[in-house]
């Protein structure tokens, strides 16, 4: 790993200022970025740690919404979102392992937008709003492909605001070595309809399975997706699973998520 200058601002405003410098990059839990820097795939000149910014931490529920600070570790969401949004808390409690959950954060996860990451499915299925230092971005506009998001240079995810569904569940089929999602499905049922988001499977990252959304909005039961099938073209294939295998998993996991919700 190349050396860098380390700064740890105490406010969002100071972090934004520090990130304006050439070669500066945000560091949150470091559970992705430090490994990337060790491989020299990233070599920032300055790392701006977000872990000392109190206004970016914590979980709060009010008015049918759950707000999670961008620098809140997964373990805190797992513990503190349990009462208000159990489906989201369970997702956070299943990310990686306890040590990863104690450091890794929601902001880092959705800024990175790994195609096998768990959080993007919850953000998309909940129709959440990603709040940054400069604007609010709807989940449907935020995720733009593999490791690609609507974020601009130096833009910081400060909060994610989740509308709380009536029922929701996330079911992932673990890739046993990495514990990321080989495929994962988040189902969220709102009064206005059902949203279904799939991670770990799309060649372009997280996506909504709209046919299942329509079927489940009419009849929220596992059997409602029986007659549907997912087209494997457009899905990822690797040594862990072919596109056809993932297509089948999406359907199976959707049914399990509906049953668990």
Partner 1 sequence: MTKVTMTVNGKTVSGEVEGRTLLSGFLREGLGLTGTHIGCDTSQCGACTVHVNGRAVKSCTVFALDVAGAEVKTIEGMANADGSLSVLQQAFQDCHGLQCGFCTPGMVMASAALLADNPTPSEAEVRHGLEGNLCRCTGYHNIVKAVLQASGQDITAIPA
Ligand X SMILES: Cc1cc2nc3c(=O)[nH]c(=O)nc-3n(C[C@H](O)[C@H](O)[C@H](O)COP(=O)(O)OP(=O)(O)OC[C@H]3O[C@@H](n4cnc5c(N)ncnc54)[C@H](O)[C@@H]3O)c2cc1C
Angstrom distances, CA of residue 69 to CA of 38, 86, 98, 146, 221: 27, 17, 19, 24, 33
Give me the least distance between CB of 259 and partner 1, in Å please: 20
Residue 31 interacting with partner 1 (CB under 8 A): yes
H or E stretch covering 260: helix 243-260
Region of residue 98 (left: phi > 0; alpha: psi -120 to 50; beta: else): alpha
Site for partner 1 in 64-123 (CB under 8 A): 75, 96-100, 102-103
Residue 1 interacting with partner 1 (CB under 8 A): yes
Residue 17 interacting with partner 1 (CB under 8 A): no
Q: According to CB under 6 A, which one of 24, 75, 76, 118 is a site residue for ligand X?
A: 118
Of the CA atoms within 13 Å of residue 121, those in its CB half-sphere come to 35
Site for partner 1 in 176-195 (CB under 8 A): 179
Distance (Å, whole) CA 104 – CA 73: 5
Residue 105 interacting with ligand X (CB under 6 A): yes
User: Rg (Cα) of the chain, in Å, rounded?
Assistant: 18
Residue 8 interacting with partner 1 (CB under 8 A): yes
Residues 141 and 68 sit within 8 Å (Cβ to Cβ): no
Residue 197 interacting with ligand X (CB under 6 A): no
Residue 145: name its binding partner from partner 1, ligand X, none (Cβ under 5 to 8 Å by kind). Answer: none
Binding mask of the shown chain, residues 145 to 184, with x at each position contacting ligand X by CB under 6 A? ------x----xx--------------------xxx----
Give 60-114 as a 3 state SS string: EEECCEEEEECCCEHHHHHHHCCCCCHHHHHHHHCCCCHHHHHHCEHHHHHHHCC
- What is the contact surface with partner 1 in residues (CB under 8 A)? 1-6, 8, 27, 30-31, 34-35, 37-38, 47, 49, 51, 75, 96-100, 102-103, 179
| Site for ligand X, rule CB under 6 A | 25-33, 50, 70, 95-96, 100, 103-105, 107-109, 111-112, 114, 117-119, 151, 156-157, 178-180
């Amino acid at each position: 790993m190349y050396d860098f200058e380390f700064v740890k601002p105490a406010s969002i405003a100071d972090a934004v200022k520090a990130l304006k410098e050439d070669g500066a990059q945000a560091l949150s839990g470091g559970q992705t970025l430090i490994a990337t820097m060790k491989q020299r795939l990233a070599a920032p000149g300055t790392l701006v740690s977000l872990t000392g910014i109190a206004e970016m931490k914590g979980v709060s529920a009010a008015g049918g919404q759950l707000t999670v600070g961008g620098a809140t570790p997964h373990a805190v969401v797992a513990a503190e979102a349990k009462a208000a949004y159990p489906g989201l808390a369970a997702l956070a409690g299943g990310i990686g392992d306890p040590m990863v959950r104690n450091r890794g954060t929601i902001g880092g996860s959705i800024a990175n937008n790994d195609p096998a990451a768990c959080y993007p499915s919850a953000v998309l299925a909940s129709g959440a709003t990603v709040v940054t230092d400069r604007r609010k971005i709807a989940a449907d506009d935020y995720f733009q492909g593999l490791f690609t998001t609507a974020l601009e240079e130096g833009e910081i995810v400060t909060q994610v605001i989740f509308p709380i569904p009536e029922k929701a569940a996330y079911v992932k089929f673990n890739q046993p070595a990495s514990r990321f999602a080989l495929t994962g499905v988040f189902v969220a049922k709102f009064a206005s309809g059902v949203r279904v988001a799939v991670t770990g499977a799309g060649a372009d990252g997280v996506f909504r399975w709209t046919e299942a959304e329509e079927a489940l909005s009419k009849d929220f039961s596992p059997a409602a997706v029986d007659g549907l099938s997912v087209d494997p073209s457009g899905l990822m294939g690797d040594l862990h699973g072919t596109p056809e295998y993932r297509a089948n998993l999406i359907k199976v996991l959707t049914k399990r998520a509906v049953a668990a919700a």
